[in-house]
Amino acid sequence: MSKRRFEIEKEELEKYFEMHMTYKEIAEIYGCSHWTVMERAKEYGMKSEARKHQMKTDNPAGKKEVAEKISNTIKEMWDEGVYDGRVNGMLGKTGEQSPNFIKEGGKCNYREKAKHYHPEAICLNCGKQLNWDDNSIEVHHVDENHENFALSNLQPLCHSCHRKYHRKSQPIVMVTKNFVFDSCHFLPYHDGKCKFLHGHTYHMEVTVKNRVLQETGMVIDFKKLKEVVNQNVVDVLDHAFFNHLIKYPTCEFMIYWVWSQLSKDIKGLYRIRLWETDGSYAELTADMLNEYIKQFEADWRVE
């Protein structure tokens, strides 16, 4: 077994923690990242209390009497309506008093949409069983754009995994996998030969864009990507008659159909390219889809 690059003895780490040093300060001593220090501390069952110590000693708000005064002041401001225009709201502002309150039959937000398509309430990263009713499940916007309501951009996660996806130190990468299938169709409104039944060998690229998680070193496992695309698209279309699925099966409409088939299981879909012939392909990107669904899903409602 190869030796890890950065070995930090438990006794040394304990000494630094007693000095109330932060993970970052300790990392600078060893010339490694603060994530490495955090990982070693986790292995030893230890945790830095530096921030808590600083709050007690350096920050006046860390004192109990000051914190209570601030809390009471904020509560009074709530009661006076100072925060009524806030989007996120604050603790204590619930029900109809919350700016995010949605009346029955009214407009649904992205959380309601995610709940509709993922009623099982499972974290899509670690597989932990959660519950929509107690808010233990959170909905992550993969592209971090809260105006993007595409299902492929809404990723149900537990609180711990949600935080992982917001580590700014993790790079954003696109990964792509290629697929091939044979399918036949005809274009009923076409003036040329395509109005007759004919077939193509389609070549398809599916690209996913997301942060590279530190724990896996991946955006998505290529094996999982292959399994999902094969099950939901390739196995359905291979040697099939596409007109049975959509009314006018041009390459342009086909990629919208493919995207809809993958949206629930592949989060972070970024681009789909579908070649009908060697020199001709159609392309759909996340930005294009977002602009399109704004016309129809800005007021998305649960049926």
Give bridge partners of residue 158 from the DSSP assignment: 137
Give the pTM.
0.63
Predicted confidence (pLDDT) per residue in 44-61, tens digit:
888 887 766 665 565 555
Q: Are 105 and 133 in contact (CB under 8 A)?
A: no
More confident residue, 7 or 195: 195
Q: Is the pLDDT of residue 115 over 80?
A: yes
What's the confidence (pLDDT) of residue 52?
64
More confident residue, 26 or 266: 266
Domain annotation for the chain: domains and CATH numbers: 10-57 (no CATH), 172-297 (3.30.479.10)
Predicted confidence (pLDDT) per residue in 72-111, tens digit:
666 666 676 655 554 444 444 444 554 444 444 444 478 8
